């Protein structure tokens, strides 16, 4: 029997990209998946794919940037479907460009969705996860949570916050003796979903496929890993950055393409 068989899983931002693929793969493993998106048709299309794959799929509208709507959404979900076992905070946006040339509204929207919406969802559904036999919180961060990202400063800031929040909460739950709830933070490099069209990948860090990332996530959640990092070499960035003098690291980041990768971003 699959680890995911019969588990009820809510995925935010699942109308496309890795959220949609994850929903379908979970359906293949016998899960009941609540597909949420800001638009009805994409959510319904993915829910049908979940069902065709052998799982149970539900489509629901949810905009995590509307923080006041999250608690009522949870209450309605409890009435119509029930409590969840796993929450995947996948919804996210990115805006690239020279800092002052990017509209302030886009900077703030990045934080609202990537960070505040994620925290609000985690807060709203934490009791569900605590009530589950094996509750799990999965937060999609980024490799940019480890380093500065020129031309994507607010995106990087939002993901640094996600990593810090997730690690702090994971340790808090452990300290409180809440051992049935795991927290997994996912830190991938650039993924070929359209969000990062135009970026130039750093040396030794090819563009990741959604399939590879989803496979790593599902494996990591099954084994209740604290971190899922793709590609694995990202794990060494923090050590290298800490070991080198600041000016030397800056030069390494430039020559390797890390600090220039977002300069030509054209994503959606």
Q: Which residues are catalytic?
A: 155
DSSP 65: T
8 Å CB contact between 26 and 218: yes
As given in the structure block, the two tokens for residue 222 are: 């099954």
Q: Indicate the average pLDDT of the chain.
A: 92
Whether the predicted pLDDT of 264 surpasses 70: no
Please state the separation of Cα 235 from the chain's center in Å: 17
Mean pLDDT throughout 214-223?
A: 97
Q: In sequence order, which ranges of the chain are alpha helices (DSSP H)? A: 17-28, 40-52, 70-80, 104-111, 118-131, 153-175, 210-222, 235-243, 246-256
8 Å CB contact between 158 and 114: yes
Residue-wise pLDDT tens digits, 116-151: 999 999 999 999 999 999 999 999 999 989 888 999
Other beta carbons less than 10 A from residue 82's beta carbon: 11
- 14: which residues sit within 8 A by CB, 6+ positions away? 20, 22, 23, 33, 35, 36, 37, 43, 46, 88, 90
In sign, the C-alpha dihedral spanning 53, 44, 220, 211 is positive
Task: Provide the percentage of residues in the chain whose pLDDT is more than 90.
Answer: 75
Q: Does domain 63-256 have CATH number 1.20.1050.90?
A: no
Whether the predicted pLDDT of 254 surpasses 90: no
Domain boundaries, the chain: 63-256
CA-to-CA distance for 171 and 145, rounded, in angstroms?
A: 18
Residue-wise pLDDT tens digits, 23-64: 999 999 999 999 999 999 999 999 999 999 999 999 999 999
């Amino acid at each position: 029997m699959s680890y995911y068989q019969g588990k009820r899983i809510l995925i935010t931002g699942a109308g496309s990209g890795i959220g949609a693929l994850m929903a379908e793969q979970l359906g293949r493993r016998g899960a009941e998946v609540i597909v949420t998106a800001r638009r009805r048709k994409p959510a319904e299309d993915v829910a049908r794919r979940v069902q065709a794959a052998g799982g149970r799929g539900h489509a629901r509208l949810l905009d995590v940037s509307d923080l006041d709507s999250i608690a009522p959404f949870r209450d309605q979900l409890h009435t119509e479907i029930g409590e969840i076992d796993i929450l995947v905070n996948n919804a996210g946006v990115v805006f690239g460009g020279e800092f002052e040339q990017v509209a302030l509204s886009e900077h703030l929207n990045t934080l609202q969705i990537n960070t505040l919406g994620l925290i609000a969802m985690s807060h709203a559904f934490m009791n569900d996860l605590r009530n589950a036999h094996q509750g799990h919180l999965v937060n999609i961060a980024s490799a940019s949570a480890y380093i500065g990202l020129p031309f994507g400063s607010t995106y990087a800031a939002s993901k640094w916050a996600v990593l810090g929040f997730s690690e702090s909460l994971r340790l808090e739950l452990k300290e409180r003796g809440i051992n049935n709830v795991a927290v997994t933070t996912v830190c991938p490099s650039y993924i070929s979903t359209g969000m990062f069209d135009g970026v130039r990948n750093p040396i030794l860090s090819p563009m990741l496929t959604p399939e590879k990332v989803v496979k790593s996530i599902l494996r990591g959640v099954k084994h209740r890993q604290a971190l899922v990092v793709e590609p694995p070499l990202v794990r060494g960035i923090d050590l290298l950055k800490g070991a080198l003098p600041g000016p030397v690291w800056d030069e390494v980041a430039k020559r390797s393409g890390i600090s220039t990768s977002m300069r030509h971003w054209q994503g959606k």
